[in-house]
Amino acid sequence: MAIFKGAGVAVVTPMQKDGKVDFDKFRDVLEFQIRGGVDAVIVCGTTGESSTLTHEEHLEVIKYCVDTVKGRVPVVAGTGSNCTETAVYLSQEAQKSGVDGLLLVSPYYNKATQNGLYQHFKTIADSVEVPILLYNVPSRTGCNILPETVVRLCRDVENIVGVKEASGNISQIAKLAALGGGDVDIYSGNDDHIVPVLALGGIGVISVLANVAPGQTHDICQRFFDGDVQGSLQEQLRAMELCGALFCEVNPIPVKKALELMGMINGTLRMPLSEMEPANVKRLETAMKEYGLL
């Protein structure tokens, strides 16, 4: 049974001007997502700036998200780390908070072997009972989880059920789908690849775009599931310029600026992330206007 099917939002973590987590704005963002029709909330991932949250903040944000969402959609918590022991701790604590699933990024900086990745993910999964998605994003981690390793984990470990594939390598995702034979729930980790991944048998997306366009991102998936492949494709193509603008600087700099332009948050980032370049802000504004968000 999949944790969710459709559009899961990789939700931002709003900050106050002094850098503290802004829980009031976070509540507003979560309610906007649920009203907009997202199928799941993924909290404390890359877009949620998990790498600069303290462990205490990390767990507090997860619990607040679970308590606010109140079971209306599944909540999946990012609890990965390049330290296996830390990932076990965060995962166990997130489970206590009532999350519906966990998202485990591949260990960054360490650059583990495929066997090391297998042991890392299995150790974490064995420490909890909730279902787990792997998160493959080699551009950030310097480490690629090969299709063979993903399939092995999903078949050997009962609660490892799928992967967020953000390699951007469609050939690799196709190989994963072929090897997986339906045993791996595949989610696109790139907003510009939603339809291609669905066409390969994927069941959804973990999306940055959904932060600003939850309904539209849901519709890309739902139209595909309903058999309206052409309508799904048209929505995907209509969003391409906005997707490009949302990634013209490293995520989540543009998406927090976009939410600021929409009047939802103040856009504060934690260092080493920095304020968006003026030329890129203009590009983002233009794309948002053309898409109908401003």
Counts of helices then strands in the chain (DSSP H, E) = 13, 8
DSSP-derived secondary structure letter, 100: S
Does the annotation count 175 as an active-site position?
Answer: no
Within 10 angstroms of residue 20's Cβ, the number of other Cβ atoms is 10
The total number of residues written for the chain in this structure: 294
Q: Is 257 a catalytic residue?
A: no
From 63, 164, 256, 257, the catalytic residue = 164
Among the listed residues 118, 135, 187, 291, the single catalytic one is: 135
Q: What angle do CA 200, 209, 245 make, to 5 degrees?
A: 110
Give the list of residues 6+ apart from residue 289 with CB closer than 8 angstroms, or none: none
Write down the residue that tokens 């709003």 correspond to: 14
Concatenated DSSP letters for 131-185?
Answer: -EEEEE-HHHHS----HHHHHHHHHHSTTEEEEEE-S--HHHHHHHHHHHTTSSE
Asked whether 134 and 106 are in contact (CB, 8 A), the reply is yes
- DSSP label at residue 21: B
Q: Which residues are catalytic?
A: 135, 164
